[in-house]
Amino acid sequence: MKKQLLALAVAALGTGFAHAGPADYIFMPHVEYGEHEIELKAGSTRDHGKEQNTGVIVGYGQGVTPWWFTEVNVGFEREPGHALKYEAFEWENVFQLTEPGKYPIDVGVLTEIERPRNHAEGWELKLGLLTQKDFGKVQVNFNVLTERHFDAAEKSVTELGYQWQVKYRLVPAFEYGLQGMGEVGKLDKWDSWHEQKHKVGPAIFGKLPLGGHQALKYDVGFLFGMTDATPDHTLRTKLEYEF
């Protein structure tokens, strides 16, 4: 089963990511079996000093097996001058392919199906290869993501994106590091550098125990746009209640 999932992720690199929203977050390849999560993800972008877009994602997830985590999300967006409105429904799954620390790199697979509010956009399928490597207290993640729309009013193209993160685990309640995300364009023909979207910046993380099996996790990043096509600043947050 795990070999089939890995093959699916590799095949995905030849089929469909992109359009990263302000509330997007770094995917992890690990699964916590039996854990339940209620999550709030939010983010806002600013360009030339003005708010450009705001996104909010509310979700519930569960570690169904030692290697499968599934989550349902409801996404909302707000454009300047408008109220927050429902944008999409998502079903996200992470499949852990390797035991943490058993091999040189931990590997997982992401699958996500999204139904946008605007049905003319069809169905969106996101597939990705998730990796992690630990160097003592330093954790390094790098993900390759693909995205494509199906049954849409207009012909869809395959797009490619990436995520990365370097984190120093100082103490469980406070960790710090850097995050980056980007979109390079079509898989078979990348956009020019100025048309691509790349952002990078500092981030802080932590896990606060609440007693029993409960905990509150936070992840906050402030990312700077690296190209003309990227908003100047993106503030993103993720709050997670585990039980």
Quote the pLDDT of residue 20: 62
Instruction: Return the amino acid letter for 172.
Output: P
Averaged pLDDT, 33-48: 96
Sign of CA dihedral 77, 154, 114, 29: negative
Instruction: Give every CB contact of residue 15 below 8 A, 6+ residues apart in sequence.
Output: 127, 146, 148, 158, 187
For 2-242, the fitting CATH number among 1.10.238.10, 2.40.160.40, 3.30.460.10, 3.10.300.10 is 2.40.160.40
Sign of CA dihedral 117, 43, 142, 64: negative
Quote the pLDDT of residue 17: 37
Burial class (CB in 10 A: 0-12, 13-18, 19+), 174: middle
* Percentage of the chain modeled with pLDDT above 70: 92
Both structure tokens of 67: 């290697």
